[in-house]
Amino acid sequence: MKFTERVHKKYESQWERMLSHPFIEELSGGRLSDEIFDFWAMQDYIFVREAIRFFSVLMARFPRQYQKPFQQTLAGLEHELQLFTDYASKRRIELDKVEPTPICHAYNSFLLASAYHEDVDANFVILYTAEKAYHEAWKKVRAGLKKGTPYEGFIENWAGEMFRQYVDWLEAELNSMTDGYPASRLAKLDEIFLLTVRYEYLFWEMAYNRLQWI
């Protein structure tokens, strides 16, 4: 069985729990409070800004054939920063004063540590899992909302056709890379998948409860 099929089956309950987090449920239902969404936007701005570092190390370490598509992804990450800047400007949020919460800092640290420390395949798993999680979460939001919400830029970015193609490509490449892997290595990659899902869940949880350093 393909790697992604297998891990989605193995960790189906964790994946579902992440996708049905109250943050996503209320956002899809058009009833999430502005304060909570603002808090998420400020933290995700930090997250994306720091994830550019994770991504740059991956550009360094991956085989040459990934560099051109990854340069497009990098441009996409800069576009996401612009989406947050535009949103913050409308909401009169001063993004340059925002500091990462512990969970935002932890997730970014996990990405960065892995970029340098883990082998290429493990980093591919993290990248795929995080992008797939966002794609599915925002498709759910798109399905629940009418046009004209303040979230349209985000919906178009993560639920749109270009992002879908990007996630499909990641999935196909990851499955190809891990084809024929021994069980011991798959066990390690499964752990990395689960860790990433857990951090995704914690990120929604942090935003929903506005969790700060204590």
Stretch that binds its own copies, among 3-11, 108-116, 137-145, 155-163 (CB under 8 A): 108-116
**65 three-state secondary structure:** helix
In the list 36, 52, 145, 186, the residue contacting its own copies (rule: CB under 8 A) is: 52
Please state the closest distance from residue 167 (CB atom) to its own copies, in A: 22
**What is the DSSP code (8-state) at residue 214?**
-
Q: Which is nearer to its own copies, 159 or 202 (CB)?
A: 202
Give the integer Cα–Cα distance in Å for 127 and 193: 10
Q: Does 53 bind its own copies (CB under 8 A)?
A: yes
Q: Is 3 in the site for its own copies (CB under 8 A)?
A: no
Backbone angles phi, psi at 18, to 5 degrees: -65, -45
Q: Where are the alpha helices (DSSP H) in the chain?
A: 3-10, 12-19, 22-28, 34-61, 67-90, 102-117, 120-144, 152-159, 161-177, 183-208
| Contact flags string 182-201 toward its own copies, x per CB under 8 A | x------------x--x--x
The answer to the question of residue 49 lying near its own copies (CB under 8 A) is yes
Is the backbone of residue 32 left (phi > 0), alpha (psi -120 to 50) or beta?
beta
Contacting positions for its own copies (CB under 8 A):
49, 52-54, 56-57, 59-61, 64, 67-68, 71, 74-75, 78, 102-103, 105-106, 108-110, 112-113, 115-117, 119-120, 180, 182, 195, 198, 201-202, 205, 213-214
